[in-house]
Amino acid sequence: MNSDTGVNLPALRNHNAALVLDLLRTAGEEGASRLELADRTGLTPQAVSKITARLREEGLVAEAGYRASTGGKPRTVLRLVPGAAHAVGLHLDRDELTAVLVDLSGVIVAANVVPLDLGAGAEVVMEVAAGEVAALTSRPLLGVGVAMPGPLDHAAGVPHRVTGFPEWDGFPLRDALARRLGLPVVLDKDTNAAALSIALSGAGGDSFGYLHLGTGLGAGLVLGGAVYRGARTGAGEFGHQTVQLDGPACGCGGRGCLEALCLAAVARGDLDEAARVLGAGAANLVKLLDIDRVLLGGRVVAGAAEPFVRGVRAVLAERAERAGEAPVPVALADGSPDPVAEGAAQLVLAPVFGR
């Protein structure tokens, strides 16, 4: 709940309803009983009964069987109704567009991938995007989430200086696409969308960094359970941190950038060195933000997962041992075929669950 604004009764009601929905989403197939929800929320069982009654009336929640009795009346299991709402996620990458349709529980119901030239201009891209949305479903949608390479402004829904495609600079993509589709549209960086999808899957814990090694090297940050975007959606510029003062020049104009060193090692086939360099950056991130976990993804990592996970893990383990702490776990982000497209759809679902 926004701590900068006053809270009145409708806001309170929405907050508690969203909280209950989020708990039911997390519970998944297993569901949760009214008393379990009361325990988790700190509300009284009667309040939970009233809230879930409203949610059942709206069709978002349904009763689904009973728990085993523990000596008295068995608990009634409540579950989210996955089909109650749907959202579309679009992943605009440099050379292809991935579109997914997800239900309320976040499960991918339908998906499609088509070639796309991100440099072909906004009109062409919007045409393709609108076609893909229409092709996925004729059902009413909650909205459409769009994820693309940064930099961009999440709050305003406008890309800036997308690397290599100056024609996107300042184009009001969110509003233009929303008008065209007649639906709410949310825009975010690809790495943030991926981080959101990992956060909702629970694989990252309460706070983690998702390091994406593909064409470039970026990061999505989840701090305290929420995607951290910074003041201007600029957070997560991980690749252009200096790890070698006065080191080799980088395309960004700087020297000794992590991305340049890491990708140079990849280019010459020295994956161990690439992983070691990446591990140094990950260690900087872990120290600065005290996160619970580091997750790796992106095309380069997907192509050679083992050396990267092992190499980054080794660097973090060595530093943790010297400090006498437990090492921060390192894992592959492999929960979804396209975490970016999935996360894009979840940008739309997130407000329903108070996120």
Site of interaction with DNA (CB under 7 A): 7-10, 12-13, 16, 33-35, 43-47, 49-51, 53, 66, 69-76
- Residue 177's binding partner among DNA, a second copy, none (Cβ under 5 to 8 angstroms by kind) is none
- Establish if 323 lies at the interface with a second copy (CB under 8 A): yes
- Residue 134's binding partner among a second copy, DNA, none (Cβ under 5 to 8 angstroms by kind) is none
Location of structure tokens 């039911």: 24
CB of 13 to DNA, least distance (A): 4
Determine the length of the chain.
355
Q: Which is nearer to a second copy, 15 or 67 (CB)?
A: 15
- Neighbour count for residue 282 (Cβ, 10 Å): 27
Q: Which is nearer to a second copy, 141 or 286 (CB)?
A: 286
Contact 98, 66 (CB under 8 A): no
- Establish if 219 lies at the interface with a second copy (CB under 8 A): yes
Per-residue interface string for the shown chain with a second copy, residues 136-165, x marking contact by CB under 8 A: -------------------------x----
Residue 6 three-state SS: coil
First to last CA, the chain: 9
Location of structure tokens 């395309």: 251
CB of 199 to a second copy, least distance (A): 13
**Binding-site member from 12, 110, 114, 135 for a second copy (CB under 8 A):** 12
**Binding-site member from 26, 41, 49, 215 for a second copy (CB under 8 A):** 41
CB of 91 to DNA, least distance (A): 37
**Binding-site member from 117, 175, 272, 292 for a second copy (CB under 8 A):** 292
Distances (CA, A) of 319 to 43, 286, 312, 338: 43, 11, 11, 32
Distances (CA, A) of 195 to 106, 128, 295: 14, 25, 9
Residues 258-277 that bind a second copy (CB under 8 A): 261, 277
Torsional class of 225: left (φ above 0), alpha (ψ -120 to 50), beta (otherwise): left
**Binding-site member from 50, 63, 284, 314 for a second copy (CB under 8 A):** 284
| The pair of three-digit structure tokens given for residue 30, joined into one six-digit string | 């297993």
Site size toward a second copy (CB under 8 A) is: 61
Q: Which residues of 297-331 are buried (b: 16+ CB within 10 A; e: fewer)?
A: bbebbeeeeebbbebbbbbbbebeeeeeeebbebb
Q: Which is nearer to a second copy, 45 or 172 (CB)?
A: 45
- Establish if 251 lies at the interface with a second copy (CB under 8 A): no
CB of 308 to DNA, least distance (A): 46
- Establish if 290 lies at the interface with a second copy (CB under 8 A): yes
Q: Which is nearer to DNA, 41 or 201 (CB)?
A: 41
| Exposed / middle / buried, residue 94 (Cβ in 10 Å: 0-12, 13-18, 19+) | middle
- Residue 53's binding partner among a second copy, DNA, none (Cβ under 5 to 8 angstroms by kind) is DNA
Q: Which residues contact 278 (CB under 8 A, 6 or more apart)?
A: 211, 213, 217, 258, 262, 296, 308, 311, 312
In angstroms, the CA 167 to CA 268 distance is: 33
Sheet holding 32-33, edge to edge: 32-33, 76-80, 61-66
Residues at the site binding a second copy, with contacts judged by CB under 8 A: 1, 3-9, 12, 15-16, 19, 41-43, 47, 161, 206-207, 219, 221, 223, 225, 228-238, 240-245, 247, 252-254, 261, 277, 280, 283-285, 287-292, 319, 322-324, 354
